[in-house]
Structures are given as structure tokens and as C-alpha cells.
Amino acid sequence: MNFSLAVVFGLFTLLSAAAKTKTAGKFEQYHAKFLSNPPLKLDDATYERLTATPREYTVAVLLTALEARFGCQLCRDFQPEWDVVGKSWVKGDKKGDSRLILGTLDFANGRGTFQKLMLQTAPVMMLFPPTIGPHAKRDAQAIRYDFTTGPQSAEQVNDWIIRHLPEGPRPPMYRPINYMRLVTIITTILGLVSFFSIAAPYLIPIIQNRNLWAAISLITILLFTSGHMFNHIRKVPYVAGDGKGGISYFAGGFSNQFGLETQIVAAMYGTLSFATIALALKVPRMADPKKQQIAVFVWGAVVFAMYSFLLSVFRVKNGGYPFHLPPF
């Protein structure tokens, strides 16, 4: 009886050792292929062998459809990111200490697998944990990752894979240098430098022109003090009816405003500003005393009329305001 038990135990030990050796050899075989061309390209047969149990390693397989006839734009958008993940693991874990293999199964080479898994969409990622060894999972079912939120980055997918791996190497993502983008940036910078070096004698006087900046500043001030941003924030109407069949150009109250009202107020402020500048700068430089006197009266009348109109508008906004200037 004891002899029989010893024989059974010995056979069990030999079979376990043989299975372990077989799975270890399978990992070395596929890991060598993975190092030469990451991620590993699969078909139905290699997918079955790689994911078959028992396995002492982890497999992450991207099931995709890259050919244009399948119309999977998401597959083509994500493929470069998946290549980055595969090459980063090869570069950061050449010895295979993580016991991880990354593979790609295209629909053109794996129709049987897609039908077996009853997949209706792509891409889909399947992660197969180890079934034997120190890091074996009790539940040997594959873990599925669906791209429900659109294209994923290499970093996002890599973080998901790492969450399901035991302790081991965690290589960072190594993105290849985009030489075309680098050349484009350098060419653009050189072109801009050349343009400004040639155009500088013509542009600098314009940029340093005080009148230009004064005009820009004045227009900006008038634009924002007249209520331009208020119109954009509140989405106010351009005009409104007055209830008597006519049009109301000014809204009563300080919390209401029309689009046309803003333009009228900006025109008033602009006219007042221009008249003040003319009285302060232009009129004193006139050599003819008669013309200077006429200009003073004209611009003074403009200022008086605009202030009169401005006060009338203010009385519309605030009905209790007691002051006014003729003629408005």
C-alpha cells in the first residue's frame, strides 16, 4: 500500500515538473519572438497556444481590425499607442522578469477567435493571468478592457495592465522622437526669424507708433465701457418694442441693456473723446486765429450737444435723475 502511494506521488511530481518545464519553455519561446518584433503578431493557432493553460506568465492581447475594409478608425488610431506599449516593455524588461507578453491579433488573421469570443466590436484587449506558479490567480478567466470612451493613450493602457500584474519591473513609456514634427518646428522658427529680420525696418516704426497704440487703447476702452461684455454674457436683444408699435433703443434700468444701445453709447463716448482731443491737441496748433476761434466754437458745441444727449440717455436709464442740458 505504501509502495503504491509512493509510486502515485512520484508520478504526480514528474508530471508537475514536466508541465512546469513545458510552460517555462513556451514562455521563453514566445518571449524571444516578442523581443524581436513587439507586440507579437498572432493568428488563431498562436493565440490558442499562447493563451492555453497551464501558463506561468501573463498575456495581454489586443484584438483589432486594422484593414481599411473593416472601417475601424479607432483600431487604426490606437495601434501606434499599442506599439509604444510593446516597445517600451521590450526596452525596460528585456530579461522578461515581469513574465509578460504583449500580442496583437488582427481580425484578418483571427476570424475564428473573434467568432469564438463572440466579439461584435473592436478593438478589445484581453489579459490572461497566470494559472500556475507563485502568482497564479484563482480565477483564470481573461480580464477584458473595452475602449468605450474612445482612443486611449499608451500610458492609460499600460497603467491598466500594470494594475493586474504582480510585483516586478514597471518600465516607463518611451515614445519615439517625431523627427517630422521637430523639423517642422525648426523650419517654422527659422522662417519667422528670417521674416522679422527682413521686415523689422518696416514693422518697428509701426509698432512704436504712439498714435497707433493710442487709437487701439481708445477703441478698447470705448468698447468695454459701453457694455460690450455685458451683451455677450447676458445675450441681450438688439432692440425691443416700446409697446406702442415703435422701437425702444434704450432699456430702462441699470441692469438692462440693448445691443443697439451699446453702439449708441460707444459712439457718444467716441465723439466726446475725439472732440476733447481736438480741443486739447489740434486747435492750439492752428496758426490762423479766426480758424482757431471757429474750431473752438465748433468742438465746444459738439461737446455740449453730446453731453446733453448723454444726460438724456442717463435719465432714461434712471427716471429719477433731476438734471438735464438743452436741447435734449
Question: What's the per-residue H, E or C state across 169-221?
Answer: CCCCCCCCCCHHHHHHHHHHHHHHHHHHHHHHHHHHHHHCCHHHHHHHHHHHH
- Mention every residue, 6+ apart, whose C-beta is less than 8 A from residue 65: 72, 75, 106, 107, 108, 122, 123
CA-closest candidate to residue 125, choices 156, 94, 168, 167: 156
- pTM for the model: 0.56
Buried b (16+ CB within 10 A) or exposed e, 205-236: eeeeeeeeeeeeeeeeebeeebbbeebeeeeb
- Mention every residue, 6+ apart, whose C-beta is less than 8 A from residue 62: 39, 82, 102, 103, 104, 105, 123, 124, 125
| Cell numbers 444701445: residue | 261
Give the type of residue at 26: K
CA-closest candidate to residue 109, choices 48, 32, 55, 31: 48
User: Would you give the distance in Å from CA 260 to the centre of its chain?
Assistant: 37
Cell, residue 159: 497603467
Distance (Å, whole) CA 282 – CA 275: 10
The tens-digit pLDDT sequence of the chain (328 residues) is 444 444 334 443 433 444 444 455 788 999 999 999 899 999 999 999 999 988 899 999 999 999 999 999 999 999 999 999 999 999 999 888 899 999 999 999 999 999 999 998 899 999 999 998 888 887 778 999 988 887 889 999 999 999 999 888 888 898 888 889 899 999 999 999 999 999 988 888 988 999 899 889 988 888 888 888 888 888 888 888 877 888 888 888 778 888 888 889 889 998 998 899 899 989 999 989 999 999 999 999 999 999 999 888 888 888 788 888 888 7
Distance (Å, whole) CA 250 – CA 269: 16
Burial of 128 (0-12, 13-18, 19+ CB in 10 A): buried
